[in-house]
Chain A
Amino acid sequence: MIGIVDCNSFYVSCERLFRPDLNDRPVGVLSNNDGCVIALSNELKALGITMGTPAHFLRDQVMHEGVTLFSSNYELYGDISQRVQAVLEEFSAGIDPYSIDECWVDFSGFSADQLEQHAHELRRRVKQYTGIPVSIGVAPTRTLAKVANRAAKKNASYEGVCVLYPNSPRAVELLQHFDLGDIWGIGRRLDEKLRQLGINTAWDLRRQNAKELRRRFSVTLERTVLELQETPAIEMMGMDFARERIMTSRSFGQLTEDKSEVRGAIRQHAQRSAEKLRKQGSLCRAVLVFLRTNPHRHDLDQYNPSQIIELDHATDDSRDIVAASMRVLERIYTTGFQYKKAGVMLMDIGDRSVEQLSLLDSARSDIERARSGRLMGVMDELNEKMGRNTVRLGSAATGAAWQLRCANRSPRFTTRWDEIPMAKL
């Protein structure tokens, strides 16, 4: 049995951890240009606000209805996410982080009555240790685990844990009432086409012939149907393997302490990594930047910093990846060292078709995504035909513009000792 642990309104929960006065109150987190709402508490949803609502629409609610909006604070979310994963790892047989707020957990080897108890215990531990409420769905396949997770989240009577045993009445009942479009891997277009065939629920889809759907649609849909039929067909990276990574790094011609040279190298590595990412049809959710001094030069001071930044949505857009890399570089670069090497690593890489369905990405419009896709396509084509680096991203303003946008960001508790928030209202 496989489980998916999903943090409830993760960004909001992170904000509330240090602002418990905001429990039970409407809270939202904005996208990284403060443009629109990307995370909502239930109380905010109850006011009729939805994912993707532009921030300026909410001005009145902020003034009169006690809505609190935060700029996104990825340093905090990233750290809390790692803590949640650490707790899950400590108390389970194995984990496979899926996104900043979701993690697959190995639930094999439990007897039926133990399993449910164990899941509840896991949920309790995560809440106690990290303060983050989670929902857990457990089932024979990943697709069904996702179904179970949604039920655990929506239906209070499950108390955050829903286990679907093979062939159980509960599974049948749940699938019969589970909307087609909510199934993991069923995008909007596929949803429309299937409805024309009279397939409206997960149960309808489960009763289809998988091979037949493969012929008419795709191998992906076949897998989804198999998974609904309790046959595991979607393997992620495997529980014991590190996630796939894309790394681009190079040594400088000679040791350098010229910041603009380092910056140029990182920009280039970031673009090259993004190209590799697009080539394999994947998206990434996190970027790591590292710098190295020369370890053999004992006469020089050594400094080998690296830091990861989480992206707010899975992306393959060079502009996002370059901007993120630049932010990390600004953070880790320290003058006074002779750097030998610099590199960029893309992490948390996932399949494009799957990743785009995740909740966080819905804040990004399809139009925007299509535009980014076209632009990147043209860039790759030109670079391929006319030589690498024919088209490159310039050094768009990073620092100043960035600062301005984070107007309502909570303190970065995890990475800045000097950002000390008052714990009082």
Chain B
Amino acid sequence: MSHVILAGTFQSAPTSMEIPCAEVMVRAGIAGFASPAEDYAATSLDMNERYIKHPAATFIFRVQGDSMEEYRIFEGDHLIVDRSVTPRPGHVVVALVEGELTVKKWLERGNRQLLCSGGNRYPPISMTDVEVQIWGVVRSGHVEFQI
């Protein structure tokens, strides 16, 4: 079972972390000598813009455990959880299972709703037998490698 650790939440107006990136621009207009720099208008990649669609509804969790490795979620990863997404089968979700926030994949098997771990080591949790509440939908995961 993967336990979830909340590592932080995003501010409603997140600061942007910009990564400079040179982008080739099409030159428009003809006027004298153009500065060579004009061909490369420096833009930036904003990680927040890319991964956080609804700042007010986005929370970041850290995970602990090994039950979701088959879904490429490993201990220590950061997950970006978006509560504005309405959960449905197929989503990886943070769910409240017996008082604990847990990361599972919501799968539909026939008319049974299950919260599943990866692999066969942990049995699925039936959402009808156990009291389960979906806390939020996991949008992406982030892993840092040792450097």
Contact = CB atoms under 8 A, between A and B. Distances in A.
B56 interface: yes
B55 interface: yes
Interface string B31-68: 00000000000000000000000111100011000000
- Return the 7 tightest CB-CB contacts between A and B, nearest first: A423-B101, A129-B57, A86-B56, A21-B99, A83-B56, A82-B12, A86-B12
Interface string A84-116: 111100100000000000000000000000000
Contact of A420 (B57, B62, B135): B62
Contact of B57 (A87, A411, A422): A87
Contact of A423 (B9, B57, B100): B100
Interface of B: 3-9, 11-13, 54-57, 61-62, 83-84, 86, 96, 99-101, 133, 135
Interface residues of A, number: 26
A83 B12 contact: yes
Contacts of A129: 54, 56-57, 83-84
15 contacts: A20-B96, A21-B99, A82-B56, A83-B57, A86-B56, A87-B56, A128-B57, A128-B84, A413-B8, A414-B8, A414-B11, A416-B8, A421-B6, A424-B100, A425-B99
A413 B12 CA distance: 13
A217 to B, nearest CB: 42
A420 B9 contact: no
Contact of B133 (A20, A417, A421): A20
Interface string A158-172: 000000000000000
A131 B83 CA distance: 8
A20 B131 CA distance: 13
Nearest to B96: A20
Given A83-B57, A90-B56, A129-B84, A421 B5 contact: yes
Given A86-B55, A86-B56, A20 B99 contact: yes
A151 B3 CA distance: 40
A130 interface: yes
Given A18-B6, A79-B11, A417-B8, A425 B100 contact: yes
A417 B83 CA distance: 20
Contacts of A423: 3-6, 61, 100-101
A128 B135 CA distance: 9
A414 B84 CA distance: 18
B48 to A, nearest CB: 14
Contacts of B100: 21, 423-425
B5 A20 contact: no
Interface in A370-425: 411, 413-414, 416-417, 420-425
A416 B6 CA distance: 11
A424 B135 CA distance: 14
Contacts of B7: 417, 420
A425 B101 CA distance: 10
Contacts of B8: 413-414, 416-417
Contacts of A82: 11-13, 56
Contact of A128 (B3, B4, B13, B83): B83
B142 to A, nearest CB: 13
B83 A420 contact: no
B17 to A, nearest CB: 13
Given A86-B55, A420-B6, 5 more contacts: A82-B12, A87-B56, A413-B8, A424-B3, A425-B99
B129 to A, nearest CB: 19
Q: Which of B4, B54, B57, B135 has the most CB of A within 10 A?
A: B57
Contacts of B133: 20
A86 B4 CA distance: 26
A130 B83 contact: yes
Q: Which of B4, B56, B100 has the most CB of A within 10 A?
A: B56
A414 B57 CA distance: 13
B109 to A, nearest CB: 26
Nearest to A126: B56
Contacts of A130: 56-57, 83
B12 A79 contact: yes
Nearest to B59: A413
A398 B11 CA distance: 26
Nearest to B54: A129
